[in-house]
Amino acid sequence: MRPMKQLIDQASWNRREHFSFFSAFEEPFFGVVAEVDAAPALARAKALGLSFFQVYLHAALTAVNQVENLRYRVEDGQVYCYEQINVSPTLGRPDHTFGFSFVPYHPDLRTFGESLSAEADAVRQSSGLRLSPETARPDVIHFSALPWVNFTSLTHARSFSHPDSIPKISVGRLRPDGSRQLMPVAVNVHHGLADGYHVGLFLQAFQRELNGGQYAP
């Protein structure tokens, strides 16, 4: 099934000038790093017998789908809003390499987990980056986890000659703080499509989802 998307009428779009201005930059992306409290998600993962990664990845993707500006993509100079955003996470192997993957969004945590588990198995049984039309889809976020590093800033490898408008979200090692487990979150987005306000909306939604949503035991 082809992904559903709607063309944005730039003539009446309130971001028309913003988009035109930042799209002319060699690097139109900006990044923000903030912390969220992952303690509720840790407890929920344990209670449900699920991996912490599955729980917080689903929470992040659910949050992305709640913020319209993070569903915008630039294609051949036009801006589209996708009805649903999926995720292309980097998944690790025992030899410490990683492969790209594609996991479709599903509102049900366990159904989402089944697809994630299948992709993790496929990555472990493969080598190289696993580049494919699925991992190159525009209706995704690029997601990575650095559980070894409690980072305070983060940059991404970028090919400026390749047009890109896909948000990039990374999380790092937990930092205990009393009853909280603080997790750094780096969010990098195309400034022609989203501002700090929209990143703030995502972080608020991410925290809400980490706090339990409909999956709280």
The DSSP string of 197-216 is HHHHHHHHHHHHHHTTGGG-
Closest by Cα among 190, 130, 128 to 160? 190
pTM of the entire predicted model: 0.95
In angstroms, the Cα distances linking 85 to 4, 64, 67, 68 are 10, 7, 10, 10
pLDDT, tens digit, 9 for 90 and up, residues 31-62: 999 999 999 999 999 999 999 999 999 999 99
CATH code, 155: 3.30.559.10
* Phi and psi based region of residue 130 (left: phi greater than 0; alpha: psi -120 to 50; beta: remaining): left
State which residues form the domain around 17. Answer: 5-215
What percent of the chain is modeled with pLDDT above 90?
93
Number of domains in the chain: 1
Kindly report the average pLDDT of the chain as a whole number.
96
